[in-house]
Amino acid sequence: MLKYPDAVQEYVSKELSKGRCSGPFSKTDVERILRGPFVSSPLLVSASSQGPGLPEKLRVCRNLSKGDTKNGLPALNTFVDKDLFPTCFDFAYQVEEVIANVPDGTLACAFDLQSFHRTVPVHPLHKPYLVFESGGHFYIDHAHPFGLSTASSNAGQAGGALVRIWDLRLGKNGKTMRYEDDIPVFRFPSPLTHHDVLNLVDDLHAPWHPVKSGSEFTPSIVFIGFLWDIANWTVSLPEEKRIKYRHRVKDFLTQKTVSLHDVQRIHGTLVHISFVHRDGASRLPAISSLMHGYKNSFMLRHVSKVARTALEWWLTRLDDPSAHPAHPPPAPVARSRPLC
């Protein structure tokens, strides 16, 4: 957090202006408002490289998974059973199935829910557990923060309801899907306009993102980080993603020693994009084997020769902008959306 003070200040100012938190308060003020002791969790800033020459993407989160061992206080997330808060997301193989079954002439548009996790209010009895400190002052949260283990699930309940209602109102004219805050709508050939489709859920007052939400239906769509070409049944990496992941692999290979977090991050990236570059799946075990042998998160180890060879293959593949393998559509499968 100390490395990115401007990002933290911008985050706090934004949350205050949106009414999603209150402050600044002193410790005495918070105890008076919440009528007793409270738990204050630190902020952290997650920095994600976007590629060469591009600024890092900064996300301010709440560190709710680290306890205070000195004072014997467990992490807040240890008190939460995430399994009690299920939600449903659509994954790449499900998108593949949908595209294989849609009629010719189908178009799609991606919609994005703004501040997804922050759309769910905190129960008053839970507010003493969701206080954070910044600049020597305390702030009381009124919405679930990113970093709470159930934040995605709780917001997912509302997002899932939105998708199911939209599906029912679209009827035979289309199909909706969802992953976190991203909601693509597939519009089958019909006279429905973009305005007509969006108006079907206007009464739900969804907080659509003014920039990230699409303004028209098109033959291709970006969803879950992939570019889906509906008419040609192909899936590929958007160019900005290819550059980003290429830079990530190249940066990893330049390091003499790597941490467990470094290995997990690069492995997770390559597992994700192996849905597009499926011949890369055979190179993943050599990279995943690097995770064995780490005794703690601070330990650094050298990259094995076999893993380096596998990573160099990935780098070569990501070097080529035209390396977008065409995937034949799967056999049509009749599948209904699970009601959860």
* pLDDT at 335 (0 to 100): 45
pTM listed for this prediction = 0.84
Mind listing the pLDDT tens digit for each residue in 36-50?
999 988 888 888 777
Give the C-alpha separation, 103 to 231, whole Å: 10
* pLDDT at 69 (0 to 100): 77
Residue 286 pLDDT class (50, 70, 90 cuts):
very high
Q: Is 3.30.70.2630 the CATH classification of the domain at 92-117+151-236?
A: yes
Mind listing the pLDDT tens digit for each residue in 290-323?
999 888 878 999 999 999 999 999 999 999 887 6
Q: For the chain, give every domain's residue range.
A: 5-82+121-141, 92-117+151-236, 239-319
Mind listing the pLDDT tens digit for each residue in 261-276?
999 999 999 999 999 9
- Where would I find the beta strands (DSSP E) of 26-126? 40-41, 43-48, 57-62, 107-112
- Cα-based angle 32, 146, 67 (whole degrees, multiple of 5): 65
| Tokens matching residue 159 | 């997002």
H or E element, residue 140: strand 137-141
Mean pLDDT of 90-96: 93
Mind listing the pLDDT tens digit for each residue in 183-240?
999 999 999 999 999 999 999 999 999 999 999 999 999 999 999 999 888 899 999 9
